[in-house]
Structure 1
């Protein structure tokens, strides 16, 4: 998948357009230094994203819909609009670690998928607010230490499995599934905002077109 393939341009325009208003997706970019560009690939599905997802003032809703599709549940293909704050954390870590491409092992999970992989009952994956990144042994320790120091959201290190968990939930840390600071228990996913609902519809439309 490429960021600038606009096979659903007319569809996304119709979903985003509101009379008398300007969509965040149509805001002009302030400049290359302010724009946030990310390149990631899902190891399981092969789906990939490469491009700008934030123009420095607001997230690009079309880009976020594409990212939500890339980070869909790998068992069912179900999508949920991904949390921009989680993408920001991953983008910041990629920038600091000078990683050209980030490999994702897990993004959004349905409750059924989360149970199958023995995920936490209140996992941030259920809210599309967490990513598990495949990190090579050579850079694992440095990446983990930098993620801890960033002090944003949750950071879980799984050296035996070669991945690091990053999420936009409460600040906490753990290693190899060990104890972590308690996170609030949330029963089910939170209500969808209007912007998230629009992203959901775009991600579903994108997924439908790819299956044709």
Structure 2
């Protein structure tokens, strides 16, 4: 039996936008301001991680700020950068526009803040992203399935009729546990070689029909 595609649920950092280099650059800057040390490897290890984990890692690296202040400072710097320019991943804007034309709603489900996700939703093709689930909108962030389940709930669709798009191991675990058909689009994070997901090297050239086919 064929299941109709009801919605597409998007991770944000590294999936919709190529923001991981911005996060890592700001981690370096914050560590330097506090006399700490940081490395690209440390930044890459945190791709898709909960912001609390990022705070703990940066505190261990010498950033002497309370977790909430550290996260707020880091996110503010990234948001300021995104206000200047949004580094969309290849094929994303075209696919969002195509989904919008066919009346298929989209949501963001991210471990970043609601504010940051709203900024990206507003920068997307007009009306393409109608729901945002940020870190403060759930009790448990990824790898819990809650962000994706909440996004489907807010859209008023069954999770089994959704496709989720991810780029990190935590994100894949979250999407798979939710019951959504899941696509891995590799970026900075090292992903499992195989699993109950479909890997697309890029979204460039992909269509709504390609997404819908994942539910067949």
Q: Report the TM-score when normalising by structure 1.
A: 0.25
With CA pairs under 8 Å and 6+ residues apart, which has the higher RCO, 1 or 2? Answer: 2
Q: Report the TM-score when normalising by structure 2.
A: 0.24
Which structure features the higher share of helix residues?
A: 2
